[in-house]
Amino acid sequence: MNRNKKDNKYLITRARYKSIKAFDHQQMEQFCTDIYKSGFQDGRESVPGVDVETIMEAIRSVKGIGAKRLYAIRDSIEAVFAKDGDNER
């Protein structure tokens, strides 16, 4: 749900604004969390992912990189991306 693609001038209608004013702490926290999550998701969708195979092809073309070193580099790269994947959720 990319909010920037809407043609509306305002993202929050008058009725939604009135309901937000009446929120208690828990409702306001949930509302802010939902806004954060949708913004985070929009940001993730706007950035293309990294293809490990493309990286490996580029490294493979470097003179002096043998099969053994290539596999060590691949393991290191995959470990970094696996760790980043765990932190995003």
Question: What is residue 7's predicted lDDT score, i.e. its pLDDT?
Answer: 61
CA distance to 50, 51, 77, 81, per residue, from 69 (Å): 21, 19, 12, 19
Q: What is the pLDDT of residues 16-53, one digit of tens each?
A: 999 999 999 999 999 999 999 998 888 878 877 777 78
pLDDT band, very low/low/confident/very high, at 83 (cuts 50, 70, 90): confident
Shortest CA distance to 52 belongs to which of 30, 85, 15? 85
Q: Write down the pTM of the prediction.
A: 0.47
- Residue 23 phi, psi (nearest 5): -65, 145
Q: What is the pLDDT of residues 50-66, one digit of tens each?
A: 777 888 899 999 999 89
